[in-house]
Amino acid sequence: MHKCCPVCGVRFEVEPGFFFGAMYISYAFSVATFIICGLATYLLGNNPEVWVYVMVVIVVVLLTFPSSFRYSRILMLHLFSGIGYEPDAADKEGQT
């Protein structure tokens, strides 16, 4: 992840430790993954043994970790950073 926006240069980590909060969002993503994978395994696998559930959840969580990590930070920025998206900001900066 970029430390600053490559276009307008805004610093994403608005205060030290800002992204600790993203861990809670990431945790929520993981819990949602557990529930969805658990239900899918139950329904598709006709209620297999416990180790099958564990393996399915571990594999899916590992596969989705990169996107979960980024989307939790994106959500954190949108919800709590106070930084807004200004489509024209880069153009304005280019003119001055």
* Cα distance between residue 61 and residue 54, in whole Å: 11
- Assess 5 for contact with Zn ion (CB under 5 A): yes
3-state secondary structure of 6: coil
Backbone angles phi, psi at 4, to 5 degrees: -125, 160
Part of the chain binding Zn ion (CB under 5 A), chosen from 3-11, 29-37, 40-48, 69-77: 3-11
Q: Let me know: does 57 contact 37? Beta carbons within 8 Å.
A: yes
Part of the chain binding Zn ion (CB under 5 A), chosen from 1-9, 12-20, 37-45, 53-61: 1-9
- Assess 36 for contact with Zn ion (CB under 5 A): no
The residue from 7, 36, 40, 52 that contacts Zn ion (CB under 5 A) is 7
3-state secondary structure of 39: helix
Part of the chain binding Zn ion (CB under 5 A), chosen from 6-14, 27-35, 40-48, 64-72: 6-14
What is the C-alpha R_g of the chain? 19
Closer Cβ to Zn ion, 8 or 32, answer by number: 8
Which residues are near Zn ion by CB under 5 A?
A: 5, 7-8
